[in-house]
Structure 1
Amino acid sequence: MQVSVERKEGIHCVLNIELPAGEIEQEVSKRIQRIARTAKIDGFRPGKVPTGMIKKKYGEQVRFEVLGDLLPIKYSKALKDEKLEAAGVEIEILQNEEGKALKFNVNIELFPEVIIKDLDKIEVKKPVVELSEVQTDKMIENLRKQLAVWNEVDREVKKDDRVIIDFVGRVDGQVFEGGSVNAYEIVIGSGQMIPGFEDGIIGMKKDEDKTIHVTFPEDYQNDELKSKAAQFNVVVKSIKEAVLPEINDKFVEQFGIKGGVEEFYAEIKQNMARELKNAIHKTIKQQVFEQLVKLIEFEVPKALIQREIDRAKQDLIKRIDGKKAQVKAENLSDDLFRDRAEHTVKLGLIFQAIVHEQRFEADQASIDELIEEMASIYEDAQEVRDHVKNNKQEFDNIKNVVIENKLVDWVVEQGKSIEKEEDFFDLIRNALPQGLTF
């Protein structure tokens, strides 16, 4: 086998490979002979069919199979011999004729060299959050609202009322797509709609018709509506007010707590402290991820991006129950997933480079601590501990999280940190996946 390497720009190169004709023909001949032992052709007994006839009938197919088996073996050996790490390969056959050497090219995308530098430019805003009785009482009030009984009332709409409305939205006098909805239910003051919309409903009565003037935010998810002035014609169909339950043993039992009101308050505080810790860590981690991707530049292999796009498509299909919805991967545009896929692949390569450079490992103490944090929120904590420790996939996930946490902490140490006061509920809300609203 003759191999030469042709370097291209960036992470691209080409292996020029030539295999002697005899090596291909020898393998083709072996397979033809195996077929001849059992082939059935009219006029001949099994095993008595002339080899030439077998070759004429099956030769092209056999040669195709031989190349399919042999080429990956040959180019894999060439990659190893040349010490090349391929992120993706494409085969281009240049000469494939019986009796002549097989010539083919392997177009390669190499894994890029990721140089970790300038981490002192990273600036992280660390949330500083007060967690006092005020926040605890507000959390319990939110829980009471979740269990509220809603009674219809005959009065003007107030904050915290649940209303059902019909509305039609217009921009530049034209109804925009998705802007007309009937029997839409919202709680006034929940922030479910764009700024100004819910405030405009306050003071309305049942069956009242009103035009509300608002402006779509600059960061609105629909580019065509960003910063646009809009008019919503709104009709109130129903007004309900909440009757909140009393905080007593019956109320507490609905949350699975047997120790009464005092135990309920203690557990709420504990849960809030845990949520706060997770939200702070997630907020810092998101900042680190975004800044690493922007700061560290290198060419991302297209082959890896395509694999991530394909994986994301399959995940989406599973989430929406592909069989029922009859969604197929080939019907989903790659462009819908490309930006996120490139971000994910780039971040993964940066992670690999930092972990390799800093030799981060998942030590047993950190693993046990993380497992304990997970188990503590369940009634049968020991069952959770045993499940994680005895499930290889779960245990590997824990190890990966430990390494990721160490990486994030290390990157923060290399950069600058600024403390920023945050409201507990705003921080928790921002740490959750955001839904789409008007």
Structure 2
Amino acid sequence: MQFTVTTTAGLERRIEVQIPSTRVAGEVDRRLRDLTKTANVRGFRKGKVPLAVIKQQYGGQVHGDAVSELIRQGYSDAVNKENLRPASNPRIEPIQMEPGSDLKFAAVIEVMPEVSVKPVESMQIERPTAEVTEADIDVMLESMRRQRVSYEAVDRPAQKGDRVVVDFAGRVDGVAFEGGTGTDMAVVIGAGRAIADFENALIGMSKGETKTAPVKFPDNYGAKELAGKNAEFDLTAKTVEGEVLPVVDDAFSQAFGIAEGGVAALRVEVRKSMERELAQAIRNKLRTQVFEALQRDNQIDLPNSLVDEQIQQLQIDLLQRMGREDMSQMPPRDPFVEPARRRVALGLLIGEIARREKLQADREKLFARLEEVAAAYPNPEEVKRAYLQNQDAMRQIETAVIEDLAVDWVLGKAAVTDRPTSFTELTGFGRQG
């Protein structure tokens, strides 16, 4: 077998392979002789079919199968002898395939780039530092109260935070539009679930009152035919209800699973949960900084095939999150190009660090990460079983562990300075506006 490897562009390689006709003929003959032992041909006993009959009936198919196998072997041998690292499956281009002649073909591939990670000692990383305060816990408890808000009728005009049950009929340029009429719709003023002008128009209305109010649809409104349009709505307030928040007491604590210890025990559990969230937020900030710095300091040629695979995976992920299965509804690829390139580059850099520093996701680390993932669900044992039965899911766990090890390695060498901050700044919880 003879072959040549040519660099056609960037990471693309063209491998041209020539396999002697004698080897092709030998492979075809071997397969034909094997077939004489197993073929069922009318008029002949099994295993007694003459070779000439087998050639007549199966010669074309056998030649095709032999060529396919020789192409596979020839490509594999060339890749191994040249120490190539394919990033994609080969695109096979036939050159000469006729029976009786040498087999010639080309295999076009992309190869993995050479990856070198620069020293990280000069990398500047800010480590956020914060603690969960009693005030943070108070804000969290207030949020928990709002999870259990109820409403009761009030004899006064509606104000922000009230729930108004309303009948409505809307018009644009004096013409009713689809979805613009409804009855008994409950609207919490200020919750942002309805158009802002619509919610604000309910402020000051009393039970039984009717009014006509101008409402402007936002420019980014979902129904494009209404986006940015000015409308008028006839509104009738059926009921006005004020919010009632539960008292934080023993009964409230029990509603959140605290069987003993009352409010004090609830605050302890809330603190533990918030401290876990804070630790994860700090970790995420550090990971983001490390990843961004690695990609900024280390430019890599990226195989288009890997980027295309990642784009498709991101498209499928979004499609699934939208609850759709029809591949014809796949979102456009353009918004995913840069995120895909970042993911591929980061994967190559992390892989190089792991290889060079011999970072491994051993069994103990894998199961520790699996425990963390499962703990976020109501049924952790079921989640763990599901992961353990899914190789792709466990590969994701392994990737996450390797990423963590690489981040720890970088943080151990980089210039890390602490920056005091707060639970609210790090998590966004409790932030106003």
What is the aligned counterpart of 1:210 among 189, 193, 213?
Answer: 213
Amino acid at match of 2:330: L
**Within 2, Cα distance between the matches of 1:193 and 1:209?**
17
Distance 1:345 1:371, change over 3 A: closer
> Alpha-carbon deviations, 1:181-220, whole Å to 9, x = none?
96876644446678x658845625265443345876xxx7
Number of the residue aligned with 1:266: 268
Number of the residue aligned with 2:136: 135
Per mean C-alpha deviation after superposition, the further-off stretch among 65-74 and 417-426 is 417-426
Aligned-residue RMSD, C-alpha: 4.7
Number of the residue aligned with 2:348: 349
8 A contact 1:85–1:111 mirrored in 2: yes
**Within 1, Cα distance between the matches of 2:105 and 2:259?**
73
1:60 aligns to 2:63 (yes or no): no
Aligned-pair distance for 1:78?
1.4
Amino acid at match of 1:159: K
Amino acid at match of 1:27: E
Per mean C-alpha deviation after superposition, the further-off stretch among 338-347 and 6-15 is 338-347
Structure 2: 5+ residue stretches without partners: none
Structure 1: 5+ residue stretches without partners: 432-438
8 A contact 1:204–1:236 mirrored in 2: no
8 A contact 1:361–1:403 mirrored in 2: yes
Residue pairs, 1:254-403, within 5 angstroms: 254-259=255-260, 260-290=262-292, 292-293=294-295, 296-312=298-314, 327-329=325-327, 332=330, 335=333, 338-339=336-337, 340-361=339-360, 400-403=399-402
**Within 2, Cα distance between the matches of 1:248 and 1:368?**
38
**Within 2, Cα distance between the matches of 1:66 and 1:158?**
81
Number of the residue aligned with 2:21: 21
**Within 2, Cα distance between the matches of 1:146 and 1:182?**
27
Distance 1:240 1:348, change over 3 A: farther
Q: Structure 1 vs Structure 2: percent identity of aligned residues?
A: 28
Aligned-pair distance for 1:28?
1.6
Aligned-pair distance for 1:275?
1.1
Q: Secondary structure at the match of 1:86?
A: coil
1:144 aligns to 2:145 (yes or no): yes
**Within 1, Cα distance between the matches of 2:348 and 2:253?**
48
Aligned-pair distance for 1:146?
0.8
Amino acid at match of 2:253: V
**Within 1, Cα distance between the matches of 2:354 and 2:35?**
52
Aligned-pair distance for 1:365?
8.8
Amino acid at match of 2:246: P
> Alpha-carbon deviations, 1:159-181, whole Å to 9, x = none?
333456769799xx9x9x99979
8 A contact 1:122–1:291 mirrored in 2: yes
**Within 2, Cα distance between the matches of 1:221 and 1:333?**
19
Number of the residue aligned with 1:10: 10
8 A contact 1:156–1:202 mirrored in 2: no
Aligned-pair distance for 1:149?
1.7
Amino acid at match of 1:424: T
When normalised by structure 2's length, the TM-score is: 0.75
8 A contact 1:309–1:334 mirrored in 2: no
**Within 2, Cα distance between the matches of 1:136 and 1:267?**
10
Number of the residue aligned with 1:436: none
Distance 1:365 1:335, change over 3 A: closer
When normalised by structure 1's length, the TM-score is: 0.74
Aligned residues: 415
Distance 1:105 1:272, change over 3 A: same
Q: Secondary structure at the match of 1:116?
A: coil
Number of the residue aligned with 1:435: none
Aligned-pair distance for 1:82?
0.5
Distance 1:203 1:328, change over 3 A: closer
